[in-house]
Structure 1
Amino acid sequence: MAIQSVNRAIDILSLFTVSQPRLGITEISNSLNLSKTTVHGLIKTLAQRGFLQQDPETRKYSLGFTIYEFGTRVSETLKINQISYGHASRLAQKTGQTIRVAVWDLDTILITLNVSSDLQNPYSQPSGIRVPAYCTALGKIILAHLPEKHLSRYLKKVEYAAHTKHTLTDTKLLLKELQTIKAKGYAEDREERFLGISCVAAAIFDHTGLPFASLSISGNETLLKAKNLSEMIHDMKLTATEISRNFGYIPSAV
């Protein structure tokens, strides 16, 4: 019973998203197919512990400051952020673009760090956001370097969604692009996740040579047409390699 309650509490917390930050008991009850009595009991406990907070006017709930506190602890102890921050900051200042670091987690891309220059991208996504791998530069560069069996497993279970008219939703076309990406050493996002936003990304490898994270330069739709794009990509790849070295990665001599 205790385990069931924990699972249900986690399910409730998972319902709150950036696009759906506030929910009422009825909405939660309907979403999880649980009785209002059960939901009310769980929410009462979560609110008492600071995981949820209630708006006194709307009576709806949103995530509480305990969640923020835990998230801050994770961010501060996340090694990839500690190692990447200085590198990302220098790259942001040099390129004038938003630099993003993400990790491969649960077959999705979890953005862990955003660093903007003074000319920051107004559409930059906050850290802590999960995005699909197949339609983002941060994700495609990792997919391109995954071992074949891992990539095959991912492709069998992925559920494509056309986020924009540029999103690839065909496995054959995606595989063809992944081959090109691996050969070039970087990936591109041509407004595939959001219209008006383009990115380039390089992989970050661990001591075994496997990709576990990625680094991107994000800008508006003109990024991929920039005169200094080649220079930015070169600097990005060097930065990703330097971060990888901190995790014991030894680049192969070419």
Structure 2
Amino acid sequence: MNDYLWTPPSIASLPVRGETRRLPVNRLFFVGRNYHAHAVEMGRPVDKSVERPFYFTKSPQTIVESGAITPLPPQTTDFQHEMELVVVIGRSGFRVPPQDAHALVYGYACGLDMTRRDLQLAARDKGRPWDLGKDVEASSVLSEIVAMPGIVLEHGEIAMTVNGEIRQRSDLGKLIWNIREIIADLSLFYHLQPGDIIFTGTPEGVGPVVAGDVIEGSIAGVGSIRLTIGPSA
């Protein structure tokens, strides 16, 4: 048994619908600009014929569960929501062909990638990493996981409201790189492992939130998610 100088962080985990056991989280991957309309609203259109997906990561310690109240983070005046379909990996895989990618799918969840947009864009425009804009405490919000081993979702409405007003609405069929393509491409760079989680990108309609706002989202066939924004920490 190891003897540590201080208590190590607990293992990040998420509830699974119909299960008493929780799913331990390994790594968090995020696909950037994976809906055409969102890429356009961010001023960086995507041409799939000459581009490939790109990714950023966050610490598992940024995870909070649906239903939480999270404070506005420090050092931002533009804290924004991004509603996303989340793929949960259940089997290991490396250099996986797209036609075999379904075998790695354990299930799905709804996710919110909360972002310090002003810091992200300032870093982007200077060619710097996005960490301060993206890897934000309590910024990876996740619903319970729905187990769907081997199933690849290709269509279904994804929608999100703030205080009951629609902000984002699209369909999973509008993903630039679909789930098979994402898993196959990411597995060229990483040995994917059970518990890896992939946020697949957000549709158009991202925007700021303030203290007191209630965010509610849903994905057809997957579930729903809810977050309340509290006062600044």
Query: Is TM (by shorter chain) over 0.5?
Result: no
Query: Which structure dedicates a bigger proportion of its chain to strand?
Result: 2
Question: Rg: which structure is higher?
Answer: 1
TM-score, length basis structure 1: 0.23
Query: Which structure dedicates a bigger proportion of its chain to helix?
Result: 1
